[in-house]
Each structure stands twice: as structure tokens, then as C-alpha cells.
A and B are shown apart, each in its own frame.
Chain A
Amino acid sequence: MPLWTLLGLQQGKQTAPWPLTEGNDGQRDFLGMPRYQPAQCTDECQACADVCPTRAITMRGAGEADRKSGRLDVDYGRCIVCQLCTEACPTGALAPSGDWAFGAERREDLIWKAEPAAAPAEAQNRRRAFRRSLHIRHVDAGSCNGCESELQALNNPFYNLHRLGVFFTASPRFADLLLVTGPVTTAMLPPLRATYDAMPEPRWVMAVGTCAVSGGVAEGGYACGHGLEGVLPVDVYLPGCPPNPAAIMHALLMFLDRTPQRVRGGQLGK
């Protein structure tokens, strides 16, 4: 009979020190959201907007463009991180980056702005009672299973989400936060609403993955909507295709006021 416990102990501690202290977060070399640098953009070119599969990048109308804010509207809530714009861009105005901490409380924080709005002043300790014990009910509303794969990874020994006091729960009756993935299909819309209705108050909603934020590649058509837009009130948006486990952890801690939101105006602060 093998000694599993001994095997586990022999390996030593496998859990990443991050996010409790600085250290390896497991996302080395990860390609995240492309960075927009309007100063490098050249006139007459619209290669990025042409190639973007989800209309995350659109050209501004004549007269709306200026030197500082550029010629493009860039909405990271629609970005599926496919990197096609970074390959199409001849000047590096859209450049590959490792930016992934894109959890945001307001949808507009995901839209690129030359001068990002400051963080709202009142935002501290709003959910104090939940800071060390948050229970999540996950609903897959039609994802590709990429987001589920990363959510499942949260409980592997490397990320070990339990240590932060965050748990997934089977029943919506015990849940504080509804975590939704997928573009919301016609068939999943009623079960999704029923799950939300079954949750006690106070209750919150987090949209994980670009599909849940805006619809992603599946948006529209005969079977899908536009993610949670117009379906449920959303308290945290986390785009990504899929967002990596560290990004999900960061968004959860941000929701609990245990770490600051990093993205403002589509740009990451420190």
C-alpha cells in the first residue's frame, strides 16, 4: 500500500507565495492584453481594427481622434487576447504585454482612456464580513470550458484558493457571490436567473471571461446573448480568454477590498 501522505510531504510546500507576499505567481511569459500606445499609431492604417474578431478595437469617427487619445476605441471588455492586432500593427501601437490583472468594478474601467479616472474614494471595507470567508456559486452559462479549466485550477496545490478563505459552494442558498462564465445561451438563461434568485442577500455577481463580460466569440446569433449585459447586475468584470488563475484570484481579492483594483482606463497601474 503506497504512502500517499509521505509522497505529499516529501514534495514540500508547493503553494505559490503570491498573493500573500511577493513571489512567483505562475504566469511567467503569459501573453495578456495588448497595450495601446496611441502616440505610435500612424494615419491611414486600420490593420488592427480589421483583424480584431470581437470588435474590441474600432476606428474613431473623423474629428473624434486627437493626438493624445488616438484614433482607436479599445475596449478590453471585448478582448479575447488572440494577439492578432499585435501581429497586424506595423508600428507597435498595439504591443504584446503580460498584463492580466484586469478585474474591474466598473465596465468603463476596461475601456482605454488617455487619462484614467481616479479610484472612487469611498471604496474600502464595504464587504468586511466576507473578507475571510467568501462563498461562491459558479454557473457555466455556455463557456468553452477554458474558464472552468482555470477555475478548477484554483484549488490545485499551486494556487490553493482555500488558504485565502474563498470557497466554492454547491448551493446558491449558501453563496455570497455568483460567478458566471460563458456568453449566456438561450437554454442557460432561465437556470442562471433561477440560481441568482435563490441566493440570499447581500449577493454579488462576477463576470469571468470575455464571454461573460460581453459575449466574446459566441456573441449574438440564434443561441447566445451578450454575456451578462442586460441579464444580471455585475459587481466585478474580469475579461480574458480565459483569465488565468492568478487574474481570478486578484479579482476576488479586489472584490473583498484586500488588494487594489489595478486597471483604470484600460491601463494597469501598480
Chain B
Amino acid sequence: MNAPQAIALQGEQLRAAATRLRATDGRMQMVYAWYPEKDRMELRYVATEAKQQEFAVWRYAASDAVPSLSDVWPLMGWYEREITDLFGLEFQGHPQPLRLVLHDGADPVMPPFDPRYPRETMIHAEPRRQSVPEVAGADADVQLLPFGPVRADVLESAEFLFFYIGEAILHYQPRLFFKHRGMERKFEGLTAAAGVVFAERISGVGSVAHALAYCQAVEAAAHCVVPARARFLRVLLAEMERLYNHLHYLGHLCHTTTLKVGEAQGKLLEERAKQLNTRLTGSRFLRSILTLGGLRRDLSPKGWLGAELEALREDYAVYARHLENTDSHLDRLLTTGILEQRVAFDQGATGPVQRASGFDRDLRRDHPYAAYAELPVVVPVRKTGDAHARSQVRMAEIEASIALIQRVLLLLPEGPIATPCEVPAKAEGLGWTESPRGTLFYAVHCDDRGNLARVKIKSPSFSNWRVFPFTVHGSNMMDYAINEASFGLTIAGCDR
């Protein structure tokens, strides 16, 4: 975590800085808007500079005509569209100036993040079909299949548009943000301490990653140093979260390749992990334990968790060996949904998805937080970029997570588990975690009483949903569900 000095950019400097970043092996991470004062909007750009632990933050006055950076950094396209929808700011030269978060037909009286927006007023919406590209042209054989937002089975809500001929998909367009809850605005006006339970409920299966990134952002703003025992236990919680998420991922992947016993075994292992979570914290999702400055109460994992995890690991190893030797399963994964390295980089892929396409990036190692700097973080990388590589990265991460937890149990220091965290007025901070799905950012700005003025959440699924369609165009219907499962996306985190 850090509270970086934001560098002020003006006019032409913004595009020059973005271009320089591209030429010097950096990477743009995100842009968000906020109101430092009631009538002044400002943009904040967050970037990774090559080989630097600190993230770079640029600020740019939104009163000027703001140029789009989407041609230099395609991944910025969605961030800019979101700002247009929610703040009413348009970007000059945006290649795709369409609605993203608010759907066609949603008609707010003014942009919902405008400080004058009447707070408890629900947006009036007349449902309307999404404007879709002209794919069919003169060829009447091309058919359009709109699927969702209520889909088969117990699934999150989203609509998918397939333009297809027979089995072949010509073009694919997901329509997300049916689940947009306006959560970022829910933080505004809260005390910083009260924000934690909200952060836990942005993405249920990422409760720890979200709450931890939020806490670290506030702790950075408050220059609060978390005691060692709490930092190690935070690693323990984060890895327990990765464990049950990845086990669920494998079970669900087997569901899509119709490997029935493999699905049952994977989900049974997930259930075991969730029951360990309950025994450790009282919550199957590891909630109600993180707080500003440390933990809400001490945990006692010693004497039982190590043995339980070792038993789980042994059963997992047998399961993993079976998976990697089952032809019918592997046949469906190999060469399916290939994400090329260049596309992964340009469109902003993150987490296991980017690591399966050859990028050796992991925030736990490259920008360490909690106690990761004192622990050996193994970062599995694959190069082929297909569904198999994505599942292999997660399988290797399961082993690595269990090893990390065992190391934490060995090194866990005694001592206090929390320290007071007083947030000064007008403070701001940036926090991040490597969630099970990749890079998660929280940017926090406080008002003149130290309460929350703006909380920006960048979830990994927001990044990976942007990337995913590039692996679907030109593929086929039979592979779709497998490919989608291999990305391991959530919608709640993306939509917020």
C-alpha cells in the first residue's frame, strides 16, 4: 500500500505520459473520477512503472477537454465509458462511445455521481434492446441469439449476444451491469471503519480480498502500521480464500466438460475448505474478521489447521492427478479459447488469466502487502494461453497456497492483532490485493472530517470480462461454456 503523491498533468502531457509508459515497459492500470470539491471533478490515473513497487498516480482536471487514451491503451476503453455513464464526462476521440454501466433506456435525472444527484432516487429505466453491431450484413444465414439475463442453472445475471452460423460464433457481445448496485456511492459519508463490512459484500467469494484492499487503502491514508501477527493472519485468510475459490473453479470446469465425478469431487473439496473457513472464523466466506489496523479478534489456527490442510492437500493431489490424466477432459481444454499474449496485455487481462498467457505478474510478489514480503511467493506461469493453461495455473496456485499457509502457521508471531487507525481529514490512499482472480484496487478519498468522500473499486473481473470476448469471436458454440468457466469470472465484482 502507499499514499503516492499524485503528479499533476495538463493538456498534452496526459497523452505524452501514456505513450511514454507504453514505451518504457510500464502498464496503465485504471482511471477513475472524483469530486475534490462540489463543483470540481478530477481524474486519477493509476499506472505501473517498470520494476517499481510504488504505483504511479497522475491527476488531471476534468474541466478541460479530456482526451481518450483508449488508442494507446485499449484496456482504458471500459474505464472511460464507465466515467461517461456515471459522471457525465465524455472523452474526446473515444473509439466506442457507447453506454456500458447504465443500459440503453436508463434515464437518470443527472449523472448519478454528480454531488447534486438526489441520493435516494432510483434511476428510471425503460428496458430497451441493446444497440448491436451490424454483423449479419447481406448474409441472412447469420443468426442472433440473445441469452440471458436469467440463464439456466444457478448463475449470476448477465446477457450474452451470439452472432452465429450453425456451430460457428462470428461475434460475441456480453451485456453486463444488470447487477450494478451503485456500491461505490454507498461508501460515501460513512466513517472509514464502517466501510469494511460494505467492502466484504462487493463480491461474496472475494470478501477477504476486497476488505483487505479497502483496509490497506485506508491504512495507507492514515499511515497506520499493522502489527506483525495481524499481517501474517491476513495472508492466511487471503490464501484460504484463494483455496476454496480455485477448488470451486476446478469443480465447475469439470461440470462444463461433463466430467461428473470430477465435478462432485472438486465441489466436495471446496465444501471441505469452506467448513475449515467456518471453523477458523465462524464464516464460510471468512467475513467479519478484518478491520482497520488489523483484525477484529485473534484467530487460533495452531494445532489443527495444518493437519486438516495436509489431509486436504493429499486428497487434492489425487484429484489433480486424475484430472491431468483424463483425455476427455483435456481434449476439451487444450487449444480452447486461446488468449494471445499481446491481446492479454493490451486489453488488461489480470490474475491467473494473464499468467496463463505468459505474463509473470503477481501483486503479492511485485508489490507486496501484508506479510508477503517475508514469505516465499511462488508464481506459476504458463505460455499457451488456452483453457488448459488457465486451469493449470490455478491448480499450481492451490499447491502454492497450501504451502504458504503452512509457512504462515510455522512463522506466526505472537503479539497484538490490531492498532488504532485514525484517518486524518482530506487523506487519501491506494490499496491493492492479488485476489484469486487477479489485481484488485481500492482508491479511498476522505472528506474534511475524515469520513469517506469517494471509494473507487477496480475488481479483477472488470478487467477479465473486457478481455474474454476476444477469445470467443471465431470460436464455436460447443466450446463456449468451457471457455467461460476457464476464465473463472464473477459478475458481482465487475458490476458492483
Contact = CB atoms under 8 A, between A and B. Distances in A.
Contact of A80 (B117, B125, B181, B197): B197
Contacts of A241: 201, 287
Given A7-B261, A144-B203, A222-B185, A191 B178 contact: yes
B201 A142 contact: no
Interface in B176-217: 177-183, 185-186, 194, 197-198, 200-205, 207
A143 interface: yes
Contact of A143 (B150, B297, B492): B492
A168 to B, nearest CB: 6
A222 B268 contact: no
Given A157-B268, A222-B122, A4 B262 contact: yes
A191 B156 contact: no
A138 B321 CA distance: 35
A143 B179 contact: yes
Interface in A136-193: 137-153, 155-159, 168, 170, 172, 182-183, 185-192
B384 interface: no
A195 B198 CA distance: 29
Interface in B28-73: none
Interface in B112-154: 112, 117, 119-123, 125, 127, 149-150, 152-154
Contact of B265 (A8, A137, A244): A8
B150 A139 contact: yes
Contacts of A195: 150
B325 A222 contact: no
Contacts of A220: 119-120
Interface residues of B, number: 75
B103 A187 contact: yes
Given A4-B326, A187-B177, A30 B284 contact: yes
- Majority DSSP secondary structure for residues of B touching A: loop
B410 interface: no
Interface string A46-82: 0000010100000000000000000000000000111
A188 B149 contact: yes
A217 B322 contact: no
Nearest to B120: A220
A interface majority secondary structure: loop
Interface string A1-19: 1101101100100100000
B411 interface: no
B490 A145 contact: yes
A148 B155 contact: yes
A159 B284 CA distance: 15
A119 interface: no
Interface string A120-142: 00000000000000000111111
B318 A7 contact: yes
Q: How large is the interface on A (under 10, 10 to 19, 20 to 34, 35 or more residues)?
A: 35 or more
Contacts of B285: 146, 149, 242
A83 interface: yes
Interface stretch (B273-281, B336-344, B357-365): B273-281
Contacts of B449: none
Contacts of B283: 30-31
B182 A156 contact: no
Contact of A222 (B121, B267, B288, B492): B121
A53 B108 CA distance: 27
Contact of A142 (B108, B181, B203, B288): B181
A224 B182 contact: yes
B447 interface: no
Contact of B325 (A1, A51, A84): A1
A156 B157 contact: no
B182 A145 contact: no
B20 interface: no
Contact of A223 (B152, B180, B288, B321): B180
A80 B156 contact: no
A28 interface: yes
Contacts of B186: 217-218, 221
21 contacts: A1-B327, A7-B322, A80-B201, A82-B197, A138-B153, A139-B150, A140-B157, A144-B201, A145-B204, A145-B491, A146-B205, A148-B204, A151-B154, A153-B270, A182-B179, A186-B125, A188-B178, A191-B157, A220-B119, A221-B120, A222-B182
Interface of A: 1-2, 4-5, 7-8, 11, 14, 26-31, 51, 53, 80-84, 87, 96, 137-153, 155-159, 168, 170, 172, 182-183, 185-192, 195, 216-218, 220-225, 241-242, 244
Interface of B: 103, 106, 108, 112, 117, 119-123, 125, 127, 149-150, 152-157, 177-183, 185-186, 194, 197-198, 200-205, 207, 248, 251, 259-262, 264-265, 267-268, 270-271, 274-275, 278-279, 282-285, 287-288, 296-297, 318-319, 321-322, 325-327, 490-493, 495
- The 5 A-B pairs with the shortest beta carbon distances in the complex, nearest first, are A146-B204, A31-B282, A223-B182, A170-B152, A156-B267
